[in-house]
Amino acid sequence: MHYDFVIVGGGSSGSLVAGKLAEAGARVLVLEAGGSDRNPLIQIPAGFVKLLGVARYMWFYQSSVQQRLKGRQPVVPTGRVIGGGSSVNAMVYIRGQATDYLPWVNATGDEGWGWPALLRRFKAMENNNRFNNELHGVGGPLSVSDPVHVCELSRAYVMAAQEAGIPFTPDFNGPRQAGTGYFQLTIRNGRRCSAADAFLHPAKNTGRLEVLTGCLVHRILIENGRATGVEYSREGRTETVKSDREVILCAGAVATPKILMLSGIGPHFHLRDMGVATKVDLDGVGQNLQDHTEVPVLAFCNGPYGYFGQDRGFNQIRNGLQYLLFKSGPVASNGVEACSFFDPDDLTAEAKIQQFCVPSVYLEPGTTDLKPTYGVTLNSCVLRPGSKGSVRLATSNPKDQPIVDPNYFEDPEDLRLSIGGLRQARRILASKPLRNMIDREIFPGSVSDTDEALADHARRFVKTVYHPVGTARMGREDDAMAVVSSNLKVKGVDHLRVADASVMPTIISGNTNSTTLAIADRAVSFILNGHAD
């Protein structure tokens, strides 16, 4: 069967593109490597925590050896399910800073990638339960709401951050991002509102949308310089499908460059080494990988504060009943309700760090044998990392994982800012009322106070914030490292487009899901109108 559009990836961007194209009258096929998003744990806000280590719902990309991390190989997970990251993330709704988008305009020469134009898209897709003003919209398909449940540790953190010099803000997507406060979340009536919930599932009623799960895409079919379809495997069989209009890659910043390279689109010498015939020599494919990283400060509490033990025994039964009956209580929480944005060098300046307050003991598996107990973890994330990595093929076998090199701390400024975030986290822990709940700091520990000691701690514990972007970045036609042009078409191949986080020239200041949706929304405008603004 032929389709107008074949969309590779049913994650955040694929859900929006597929849903909007089907609503516009096109015949659309979505090929998703993962499975269904109907697991109740996906729909329950707190349930995603149980899925983060489950291979059925996540890809776990083993990074290459990181020399600056003393040989560590941190895992870079991404979503592997309908809705992608929006089905397994913490539902945080952040758009970044307006100035984040200036490099996008500079890279492309297209004002449509600037903040004023993208703000119109953010507002149009948003259905906010608190704000309706020049920065926020209501009536859109993506529900954005205040947290239903906020625990006492999160409230104490926000109060302590204010005492430590960070002013309160009611809206991280307001006129100024910097400040401390509570996230707004993509939740609707106490349930997750993923991109699939907002855009994909409603479009199934058109009868023009087909979604196939368990489909591992091998390569794009290219004939006479035109993308004509996709080769993929499903249930042990290799199949092909044709597209009459376009193939649209929405597989994410790791899988999208992998598929491009397996299709013969990428750096010629690398493709030759992998035994893949070069069809389009594009040096930028797989380059420019950027990701947010975070470094923790962890402290034990002196009482039963936070979420430890809330998912077991009597607490589990009580909390489950409260959620089923009233859609409230700990099960209605996303597990990370509070945050601060700040510059560790100048608290009056625009933010360079995003600090998450996790009301529990949280560290990556394998980094320590510390036993879970009552505690709090303050994770400081560098918002605009200077370090850039890459994605490369390991073999020409589509079933093999690519080589992901995030190149953490390549830029010394990332490490310096991380240390500043650690110091500010300690100031917050020492401030009222949070300090009244703290027994002692565990990591880095009170003896670790020099920059050298904190740097060692950062190298040991730094981890991804699950925001890889940039590996098929957009740029001007004469930019040799740009993979797609301003309209998101792949250079050198007709009828092939990328519409996911891969195209970001630079990462934004905060969680990337909403911006990925804005990219996908603009891709739809290009496809349907021939232009976007």
Preceding omega of 45 cis (within 30 degrees of 0): no
Q: Is 153 helix (H, G, I), strand (E, B) or coil?
A: helix
Helical spans, DSSP H, in 171-312: 195, 201-203, 252-262, 268-274
Let me know if 254 is exposed, middle or buried by CB neighbors in 10 A (0-12, 13-18, 19+): buried
Looking at 292, 467, 495, 531, which residue is catalytic?
467
- Nearest Cα to Cα of residue 428 among 308, 340, 359, 335: 340
**Is residue 322 classed as helix, strand or coil in its secondary structure?**
helix
Phi, psi of 323 (to 5 degrees): -70, -45
**Secondary structure string (H, E, C) spanning 189-226:** CCEECCHHHHHHHHHHHHCCEEEECCCEEEEEEEECCE
Nearest Cα to 150, choosing from 20, 356, 306? Answer: 306
Give the bridge partners for 63, in sequence order. 404
**Distance between the two ends of the chain, CA-based, in angstroms?**
33
Q: Which residues contact 135 (CB under 8 A, 6 or more apart)?
A: 119, 123, 171, 173, 174, 175
Residue showing tokens 């941190």: 74
What does DSSP assign to residue 342? E
Residues paired with residue 230 on neighbouring β-strands, in sequence order: 220, 241
Which of 516, 525, 523, 418 minimizes the C-alpha distance to 194? Answer: 516
Cβ–Cβ under 8 Å, residues 493 and 225: yes
| 169 touches 176 (CB < 8 A) | yes
Which candidate, 500, 491, 493, 494, places its Cα nearest to that of 524?
500
Q: Which two tokens stand for residue 424?
A: 């500010």
Tell me whether residue 140 is exposed, middle or buried, using C-beta atoms within 10 angstroms of its C-beta: 0 to 12, 13 to 18, 19 or more.
middle
Cα 151–chain centre separation: 25
Q: Can 149 be counted among the known catalytic residues?
A: no
Cα gap 131→453, rounded to integer Å: 44
Using omega within 30 degrees of 0 as the cis cutoff, is the peptide bond preceding 372 cis? no
**How many C-beta atoms lie closer than 10 Å to residue 339's C-beta?**
26
Contacts of residue 17, defined as CB under 8 A and 6 or more positions apart, other chains included, come to: 5, 7, 248, 250, 499, 520, 523, 524
Gap between the Cα atoms of 444 and 461, Å rounded: 10
Q: Which amino acid is at 368?
A: T
Q: Which residues are catalytic?
A: 467
